[in-house]
Structure 1
């Protein structure tokens, strides 16, 4: 893939370049570009809220934070009256995947800036699984052009579980070492192959060593409830944070071992409430707790918010508002060794801040990035030019042939009238699944679904190399009561096409439709298309505005509800059914995978 030249970021100059100017403004020898007066300073270093504070900003950085900045006001200085409102550092999302928003980096930023997000740490391992290192570079370069800080973590596990799945590309230790030299790479993305780390897998060890050598942060992903020796081996291998905890004891265990416990609230992952009790009830030091989203789709971003939503949720669980803000600002900045740049309102730091009228409810009135107002009352103030993805990033769905209903037939063992099968069980609002079993009837030699007991069919269609391969299985939890099928080319992490349906003809129609348009998610019922979100960029992202994508996603969600699905954010649950690094049972292009044992198992028990 041809690489575009890295675009020039609209960053302010470095601190070393402007330090004399900052001193001059702080001393009153030169005027500030912007002075914000009479605010209540949320100081994340001291944990205080300091009334009657002024901020003086020059060259995109804070020069003075104190009781009176009148000495920094000159003829050309813009003055803003905070009128007693709170001055809050811009919010940071410590771990997230832009692709889960169904939109590009540009559109993701357009959606979240009005909610107060001014820094994001993105792991583009979704596009890496489709386009490899070239795909990572595309998102890295797009991130460089944003008016906020979009830092990139180099994906670590492509494929996520070698031997259990085959992705569209593979990344090597040499790829990781190369990426560590790129200007906007801040660390290694979540190391999902936790058994490999504990077993001293040379690829995992090599990638971690390359990251340490570069002096950057190693992201973690320990998706197991086992806090015994495998956990200790994983921590000893180098990962510095983890967002896969779901219990208070998970958060405690990670912090005790010197990791950062990342607590996520995404569109479908609700892991903050249980784990925050480690702070609110057990009294664990909150400095090593970080808030993040992991995966948020466009509907959540447009309608509910981003990191502001997470902070409000944490406060609602009984967390002190200032502590919650620390977990979404300075704790994140310190973790990524960027606290001299972001995460606080303090001299020398980038002037990323919010003017907030209600702190516990986190009502964001105005958003500033690098000293420029970016949004006011929920509306973006600045234009962001779209990034031009090349044609090679748009033609990635290769089915190899037209699929038929018979491709989804599951033949029963010869002579059987009933079979016992393994079933993937969806857990609402969580990433793990359950390994279930069900007795299903056999009709004309084929295993039938059991709609009454919520057992329908799941299939994975290989879409990177055009092999025409189909793997079939069963899933429970969607509650579909009508003839229907949903297909998606977003199927973490290898991103083959994944289908869930109660009708094989609809499954074939849905699969072929996505092959025709180059990817996305579509729902068919009784032979008719009822909802579609086109995602032509790598089969993962739309090139439309976030508001348009959100509206299409809502139409999809409503169509799923009409089919009988009452799951919260069912699309997100659908997209993770092939994630072979989170227990218990998954589907991949290799077959049905038992993730507690990390091995392929037979569909029939």
Structure 2
């Protein structure tokens, strides 16, 4: 059937001259345009909404049993890789909760595998019913001071800008380059502008004229607001605010008090980074809806934020609402409190019921994203940390936050003039090993308030360049953990007394597993328990996620990369020793 014939068919269905494909009866429909709840039934044909509230006939009938029909939920900003799941498994994880569209920024795999990584995410996503809109990573690497697996410039991104599924330019973390109109960054902005694409933002702590200059670059969103003041300032400048509720960063409840009927249309929901255990136990975007309503937001307004606002922000044609000719991405919930999805539809086809998928698809892994851990042979001496002075810059862990404290502390040298945990109880040695090109570069630093004792933990998930991060209280276990990481092809490893106590292999880019969400969640749960019970880690700090963000040089205050310590506020490298 041609598109013209299909439209004629839909008009006949809407007029009642022809039966619709599906009729959802005994339902209430969320009208996001009028902010009302309207009685059904709701008719669907050719994967689109035909109409509701009238006497329609259909080939199939579904009794919603008094449930509420709402548009499919949209995640306005997410990194699939941060779930440790490949796209096909990620889709299996979130679709039963009613999220039918995501705006995905693959800058994690982009930092490891470049364009090949982005192509893999595109190809894998196409195998699923989930509508995945890919934003081209704008900052690979995140800053010029890092050693990522690849460097992506505007001319590289141009190769994919017209590829189906590519939707815009991902979060622009390098805000100094925008404010100072650096030529390379401006080329990326112009690439997006020339193709009429949305540009995502990332500007924590930027204020005043600097923020105005940043927004002038055409950057339409920000998911880094943690205070109502930041949120209102950005809305005033015309940005959309992505209200984040992730596993590590939870800003939604801080920002809800600033939402009013006047500014709510500039708000969108997002997760950014969510662990599979969190999703499986509490939901996805429907969790954010539940929290928002619990804390006083009108349910219909909350649904609008989760659907229509995101669709309009990201120029998603025919999505985000229930109206004639809109794509029938829908979910039916029992109530507007729990937002538990009873039925989930993608383009008019029911794909999940009562939390269980009704359809299946194949997994997909490409050779282009395997074998990404490339390091030279290391020895215990690779982790030797000589001290020129006994006053040093130290990274202070802030439990529950990706922000760190910049501490200046007095430490003791061992008899060889090196830093040793045994001489400095309460501190740990931290190393970042370049793992893409086997350069041998190792950044060494000191970590406070983490509390690891008798062992080491190593990870290859380390935003955003994803080099190997290893923390420990002795060099032998640090080496053992890194060797285990190399053997697995990436992942998480916990070593004690030279033995691997627990690990999780992430062979896809050193970031993702091809296992199911439940398997990954169970494995991570085991690792966290082992870390807490056997390593004495600060109980307020997440044993793994703390390390994952220890290398991100766009989040204050001080971080460690494979080239050494980096002062985020000063935006420059600094030395370990204070002279």
Tell me whether the two structures share a fold, i.e. TM-score over 0.5: yes
1:292 aligns with 2:270: yes
Q: Find the counterpart in structure 2 of residue 101 from structure 1.
A: 83
The verdict on how the C-alpha distance between 1:258 and 1:454 changes in structure 2, with shifts beyond 3 A counting, is farther
Q: Find the counterpart in structure 2 of residue 43 from structure 1.
A: 31
Deviations 1:256-283 (A, max 9, x none): 0000011111111111111222116xx6
Picking from 69, 74, 78, the partner of 1:92 is 74
The verdict on how the C-alpha distance between 1:451 and 1:94 changes in structure 2, with shifts beyond 3 A counting, is farther
- Whether the 8 Å contact between 2:329 and 2:348 is mirrored in structure 1 is yes
- Unaligned stretches of 5+ residues in structure 1: 1-12
Q: Find the counterpart in structure 2 of residue 5 from structure 1.
A: none
TM-aligned CA deviation for residue 405 of structure 1: 2.4
Deviations 1:194-215 (A, max 9, x none): 0000000111111111111111
Greater CA drift, 366-375 or 311-320: 311-320
TM-aligned CA deviation for residue 386 of structure 1: 0.7
Deviations 1:30-78 (A, max 9, x none): 221111012111111111122x311111111111122432xx32xxx11
TM-aligned CA deviation for residue 344 of structure 1: 1.5
Picking from 553, 556, 560, the partner of 1:580 is 553
TM-aligned CA deviation for residue 302 of structure 1: 2.1
| 1:437-448 matched pairs, under 5 angstroms | 437-444=408-415, 445-448=417-420
Please state whether the residue corresponding to 1:460 is helix, strand or coil: strand
d(CA) in 2 for partners of 1:263, 1:257: 17
Q: Find the counterpart in structure 2 of residue 250 from structure 1.
A: 230
TM-aligned CA deviation for residue 529 of structure 1: 1.2
1:517 aligns with 2:504: no
Q: Find the counterpart in structure 1 of residue 133 from structure 2.
A: 151
Deviations 1:92-121 (A, max 9, x none): 101000000101000000001111110111
- Whether the 8 Å contact between 1:458 and 1:500 is mirrored in structure 2 is yes
Q: Find the counterpart in structure 2 of residue 56 from structure 1.
A: 43
1:591 aligns with 2:564: yes
Q: Find the counterpart in structure 2 of residue 259 from structure 1.
A: 239
d(CA) in 2 for partners of 1:542, 1:14: 41
d(CA) in 1 for partners of 2:105, 2:422: 39
The verdict on how the C-alpha distance between 1:286 and 1:355 changes in structure 2, with shifts beyond 3 A counting, is same
**Considering only aligned residues, what root-mean-square deviation do their CA atoms show, in Å?**
1.8
Deviations 1:283-337 (A, max 9, x none): 6511001110000122222222211112212222222222222111111000011
d(CA) in 2 for partners of 1:121, 1:593: 30
- Whether the 8 Å contact between 1:478 and 1:567 is mirrored in structure 2 is no
Q: Find the counterpart in structure 2 of residue 487 from structure 1.
A: 458
- Whether the 8 Å contact between 1:532 and 1:556 is mirrored in structure 2 is yes
Please state whether the residue corresponding to 1:395 is helix, strand or coil: coil
Please state whether the residue corresponding to 2:265 is helix, strand or coil: helix
1:471 aligns with 2:451: no
Please state whether the residue corresponding to 2:334 is helix, strand or coil: strand
Picking from 365, 368, 374, the partner of 2:345 is 368
TM-score (norm 2): 0.96
Please state whether the residue corresponding to 2:40 is helix, strand or coil: strand
1:173 aligns with 2:176: no
Picking from 429, 445, 449, the partner of 1:457 is 429
1:358 aligns with 2:335: yes
